Each structure stands twice: as C-alpha cells, then as structure tokens.
C-alpha cells in the first residue's frame, strides 16, 4: 500500500512510531499529484517547497527527541478561499488571481500550531458560487470516479483531491452544501459543523450568516481529529461561540442503540433519484438492525429553503463582493480614464458570469421596494425553518436524508441552466439556514459506478451524535474498501 492511500490517522500512527518520516509522506503526495492532477485539476496552486522544508524540520525535531504534536508533519489540502499568509488566495476568481494573503486564517493558525503544513490550494467555484466547480475562473475539476463528470462544488477541488489520494484530508467551506455535496459526489466524508463552532476569520466571505469551514476526510476518525483542531472560540470572529473545548474523538463509539433517527418524507419522495432513495433507505434499515429507532417524519417547510437560500445568499454575496473594486484588492483594469471606469471595468473583467448573476440578483432583492417582498420574506422563512428543526430535534437525535438528489453529472450538463443547478442543492441548503451540523457519508454506488451518500443532521452543537452514528455505520459496513475511485474516462 502506498503512503498516499492511508488516512491521516494511519499516517499519524506510522509517523509517531518512527516507521516513516514526514518527508516520505510529503514526497509520496507530490508524486501522486504529479501523476494524477494534470487530469483531475484539483489544485490551483501547490506549496511543494514550503511543505518539504516543514516536513524535514519536523523529522529533525522528532529525531532529536523534541516533544512534538501528534499531528506534526501531516499535510493537508486547503480550499483556495482560506487565507494562508504569503500564499495566493484566488477564490477561483480572476479578480483575485494574483492576490497574496497578508495573514493567516484562524484555522490555518490552528494547523500551524500543531506543525501541520499545506500541500496546496484547491480549486473551487468562483467565490464558492456553484455546485460543480465549473465556475472556477481557471478550469473545472474532474470527478476521480469518472473524468467526464463534475466532482460537485464548490469545494470540488478539496473533495477530488482527497478522493484521488492527492491529500490525506482537506478543509473546505460550506454555505449551502459546498462541503457535503462534493464529498457525496466523490465518495468521501464531508462535515459541516454548526455555524459558530469554527472561526471564519480569514475565510473570504460568500454569505457571512451561512458560511462555515469544515472537513473533508477519508474516514470518520479523521473528521473527529481534524474538527478537534479547528473548532473553538476566536475573538477575531464575533459569531464564533465561546464554548468549552470538546474532544470529538471520544464520540468514536460503535453503538447507536437507543438513538432515535427521523427521516423527513419530503427527502425520500419526488425529485430524488430512485437509486439514491433506495440507497438512503437501506441505510435506515441498517441503523435499525444496529439498534436505533427509525421513524418517518415531516419537514414540510423545507420546500421554501431553496428560494429563501438563493435570496439571502445572493444578498449577502452582493454586499461582500463590494470590496473588490479594483483599488483595494486584486485585479485592476487597464482601460480607464476616471475612478468610475476603474470600478466598472475591473469588476466587469474580473468577475465571471455566475458572480455577476449573483451580484445582480442580490442587489435586486435588497433594493428599495423589493427588500420587504424578497429579503425580509426570506428572513421570515429562516425563522420558520429554525422552528421546524427545533421541533424535530426535540423528538429525534438525528435526521437522515440524501445529500444530493442525483449522483455526479456530466461536465457541461447543467452549466447553462443555473436554475437547475440551484435546485440540485435541495437537500443541503436548509441545514445552513438552520445553522445546524451535517455530515455526508458514502453508502452506495449507482448503476453508472458513481458514489451515493447519506446525510446525518443534528441539533446545533450536536456534532458528537453525528460522529457517533457515522462511526458506527463505518465500522459495521466497512465502506472504505468500496470507495476507491475508478478514474473512468481517463485519457
């Protein structure tokens, strides 16, 4: 078995017992990246030199018997909207093509404190607008299971990198599904924590009230280990909660006896592909066999989620993107006679079609006369959705749904039909509106040989319950063996 095939915790064990070095791990990943990434295109930039320097330093420390963190010398992939000081942070956009971050995101500081380091920055839909990574200004990323298909998005680079063994694990961001949906389409585990659990400082904002950084890993143990590092209060992010630090690995317990799991009937009905539905229902059966109680329930207000989400998210995006004016950051047009020209031309030339669409939509729903009809209404829907979740989580420990109504679609199939693309977010966006945690876990392969996943949801800060149930599933239906990408249609 090659080093790049191992999970992060397996690498940690071997590293800490002295069986392997961090330099060996790092070289193994970069040779894998060189072999595969010309076809997958998961990375926008690589940090090879920095990574090797750090690896050698950590190996030296271990050799000298210095006390090092158990994570020391483990690499990771980082979505390109998370700032690493001194490195390019493009957000998949031409407008930030040459932007070098002057500071570290808090999550990056956390990883640095453990002497971890970065393989590179992963590809994404421009400013995280999308569900396929086709909106990247640079190139689309391909799904390692079938290179003619999308890896999902917007964290498609991170998910494809982990699935194709080009990173042991990765960070992504999730505003409406961008960690869970690409994880689902690529057959890896994606975990979006509760809003406020992980600092957003240094994450380039898409929709600040919905954005959350989370993990993409090969197994549940790695999700817990990585969440331990990134969760926690940060005074630089006023929305981060000041809660006692938890050790999520304590929830790696193989037992769901007595758990009550609800399946909202709206998510196993019309609009969900048959194979996806069958696969998710078979997960419910398995949980029942393991001693959990399964009950059908209803989340009727979920039908308003897509509409409300695309109003709130675009409204916030239009405001957050205001700062890209050709003066303060990134790209500046060469065609200008006055200040207005600089703004107009820099933005016209720098933003891609989807970013422009969202700026227009967001500005429209916030404008006088439409604010009450759209934005305010969407906020009311948010309250209603929160209430519905509260009621459900009084009855159930977890909710079980699909992640995506369909498996990976072909590159180009939906890009000209944005509405169809938005509708495919039906199972993931309500979770961000509710601010609750959600995890995507592989559970099947469809007739095209593509991964299917299920989603576990819990009440706010209920990450431990999700980890426990996901771990139990993993232990009993050892799926890692079955989730090796097939690289169909490689050239």
Which residues are catalytically annotated? 79, 154, 178
Q: How far is the CB of 413 from ligand GLN (least distance, A)?
A: 15
Of 190 and 350, which has the nearer Cβ to ligand GLN? 190
- Of 153, 106, 150, nearest to 128 by C-alpha is 153
Kindly write out the interface string for residues 396-425 of this chain, putting x where it contacts ligand GLN by CB under 6 A and - elsewhere. Answer: -----------------------------x
- CB under 6 A: which stretch of 90-98, 128-136, 323-331, 378-386 binds ligand GLN? 128-136
Q: How far is the CB of 433 from ligand GLN (least distance, A)?
A: 12
State yes or no: residue 134 binds ligand GLN (CB under 6 A): no
State yes or no: residue 119 binds ligand GLN (CB under 6 A): no
Measured CA to CA, the distance from residue 110 to residue 193 in angstroms comes to 16
Among 174, 222, 237, 325, binds ligand GLN (CB under 6 A): 174
Q: What's the token pair of residue 13?
A: 């064990």
Of 202 and 326, which has the nearer Cβ to ligand GLN? 202
> At 433, which helix (H) or strand (E)?
helix 429-434
H-only helix segments in 254-304: 274-289
> At 387, which helix (H) or strand (E)?
helix 377-395
φ and ψ of 396, to 5 deg? -120, 145
Among 120, 144, 157, 176, binds ligand GLN (CB under 6 A): 176
Q: How far is the CB of 124 from ligand GLN (least distance, A)?
A: 8
Measured CA to CA, the distance from residue 88 to residue 82 in angstroms comes to 10
State yes or no: residue 154 binds ligand GLN (CB under 6 A): yes
Q: By CB under 6 A, what part of segment 52-111 binds ligand GLN?
A: none
State yes or no: residue 351 binds ligand GLN (CB under 6 A): no
State yes or no: residue 129 binds ligand GLN (CB under 6 A): yes
Q: Which residues contact 426 (CB under 8 A, 6 or more apart)?
A: 271, 302, 305, 306, 405
- CB under 6 A: which stretch of 47-55, 89-97, 172-180, 245-253 binds ligand GLN? 172-180
Coil, strand, or helix at residue 294?
strand
Coil, strand, or helix at residue 441?
strand
Of 116 and 230, which has the nearer Cβ to ligand GLN? 230
- Of 126, 118, 122, nearest to 158 by C-alpha is 122
Yes or no: say if 476 and 443 are a contact pair by the CB < 8 Å rule.
no
Of 55 and 170, which has the nearer Cβ to ligand GLN? 170
Q: Which residues contact 368 (CB under 8 A, 6 or more apart)?
A: none
- Of 386, 393, 385, nearest to 262 by C-alpha is 393
Q: How far is the CB of 129 from ligand GLN (least distance, A)?
A: 5
Q: How far is the CB of 150 from ligand GLN (least distance, A)?
A: 12
- Of 473, 401, 407, nearest to 431 by C-alpha is 401
Burial of 447 (0-12, 13-18, 19+ CB in 10 A): exposed
State yes or no: residue 177 binds ligand GLN (CB under 6 A): yes
Coil, strand, or helix at residue 458?
coil
Of 21 and 175, which has the nearer Cβ to ligand GLN? 175
Of 23 and 425, which has the nearer Cβ to ligand GLN? 425
Among 90, 123, 131, 183, binds ligand GLN (CB under 6 A): 131
What does the DSSP assignment read for 81-92? TB--TTSB--TT
State yes or no: residue 193 binds ligand GLN (CB under 6 A): no
Q: How far is the CB of 397 from ligand GLN (least distance, A)?
A: 25
Q: How far is the CB of 412 from ligand GLN (least distance, A)?
A: 17
Query: From residue 481, how far is each of 118, 219, 287, 477 by CA, in Å?
Result: 27, 11, 20, 10
Kindly write out the interface string for residues 195-234 of this chain, putting x where it contacts ligand GLN by CB under 6 A and - elsewhere. Answer: -----------x----------------------------
Q: How far is the CB of 107 from ligand GLN (least distance, A)?
A: 16
Of 250 and 353, which has the nearer Cβ to ligand GLN? 353
Q: How far is the CB of 404 from ligand GLN (least distance, A)?
A: 10
Coil, strand, or helix at residue 219?
coil
Cα dihedral sign for 394, 211, 165, 149? positive
State yes or no: residue 175 binds ligand GLN (CB under 6 A): yes
The H helix count followed by the E strand count for the chain is 15, 11
State yes or no: residue 33 binds ligand GLN (CB under 6 A): no
Residue of minimal Cβ distance to ligand GLN? 178
> What is the size of the binding site for ligand GLN (CB under 6 A)?
13
Sheet with 293-297: strands ordered across: 43-46, 117-122, 75-79, 170-174, 212-217, 189-192, 438-445, 451-457, 398-402, 260-264, 293-297
State yes or no: residue 128 binds ligand GLN (CB under 6 A): yes
State yes or no: residue 312 binds ligand GLN (CB under 6 A): no
Q: Are strands 212-217 and 75-79 parallel, antiparallel or unpaired?
A: unpaired
Q: List residues binding ligand GLN (CB under 6 A).
A: 128-131, 154, 174-178, 206, 313, 425
């Amino acid at each position: 078995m090659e080093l790049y095939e191992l999970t992060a915790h397996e690498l940690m064990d071997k590293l800490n017992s002295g069986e392997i070095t961090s330099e060996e791990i790092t070289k193994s990943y970069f040779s894998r990246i060189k072999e595969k990434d010309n076809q997958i295109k998961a990375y926008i930039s690589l940090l090879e030199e920095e990574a090797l320097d750090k690896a050698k330093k950590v190996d030296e420390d271990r050799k000298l018997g210095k006390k090092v963190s158990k994570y020391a010398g483990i690499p990771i992939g980082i979505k390109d909207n998370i700032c690493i000081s001194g490195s390019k942070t493009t957000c998949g956009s031409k407008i930030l093509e040459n932007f070098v971050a002057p500071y570290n995101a808090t999550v990056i500081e956390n990883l640095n404190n453990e002497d971890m380091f970065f393989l590179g920055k992963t590809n994404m839909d421009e400013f995280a607008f999308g569900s396929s990574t086709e909106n990247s200004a640079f190139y689309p990323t391909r799904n390692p299971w079938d290179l003619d298909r999308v890896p999902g998005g917007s964290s498609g680079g991170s998910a494809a990198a982990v699935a194709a063994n080009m990173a042991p694990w990765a960070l992504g961001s999730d505003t409406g599904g961008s960690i869970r949906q690409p994880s689902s389409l690529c057959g890896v585990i994606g975990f979006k924590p509760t809003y406020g659990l992980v600092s957003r400082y240094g994450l380039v904002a898409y929709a600040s009230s919905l954005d959350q950084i989370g993990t993409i890993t090969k197994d549940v143990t790695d999700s817990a280990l990585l969440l331990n590092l990134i969760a926690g209060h940060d005074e630089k992010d006023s929305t981060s909660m000041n809660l006692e630090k938890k050790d999520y690995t304590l929830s790696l317990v193989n037992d769901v006896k007595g758990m009550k799991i609800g399946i909202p009937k709206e998510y196993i009905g019309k609009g969900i592909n048959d194979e996806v539905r069958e696969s998710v229902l078979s997960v419910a059966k398995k949980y029942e066999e393991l001693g959990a109680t399964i009950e059908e329930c209803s989340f009727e207000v979920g039908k308003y989620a897509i509409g409300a989400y695309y109003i709130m998210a675009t409204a916030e995006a239009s405001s957050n993107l205001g700062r890209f004016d050709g003066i303060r950051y990134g790209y500046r047009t060469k065609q200008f006679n006055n200040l207005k020209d600089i703004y107009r031309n820099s933005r016209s030339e720098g933003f891609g079609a989807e970013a422009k669409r969202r700026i227009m939509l967001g500005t429209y729903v916030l404008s006088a006369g439409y604010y009450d009809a759209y934005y305010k209404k969407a906020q009311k829907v948010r309250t209603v959705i929160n209430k519905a979740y509260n009621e459900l989580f009084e009855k159930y420990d977890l909710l079980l749904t699909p992640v995506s109504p369909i498996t990976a679609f072909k590159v180009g199939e939906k890009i000209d039909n944005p509405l169809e693309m938005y509708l495919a977010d039906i199972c993931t966006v309500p979770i961000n509106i509710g601010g609750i945690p959600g995890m995507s876990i592989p559970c099947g392969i469809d007739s095209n040989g593509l991964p299917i996943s299920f989603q576990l949801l819990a009440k706010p800060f209920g990450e431990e319950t999700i980890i426990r149930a996901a771990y139990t599933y993993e232990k009993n239906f050892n799926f890692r063996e079955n989730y090796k990408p097939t690289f169909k249609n490689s050239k």
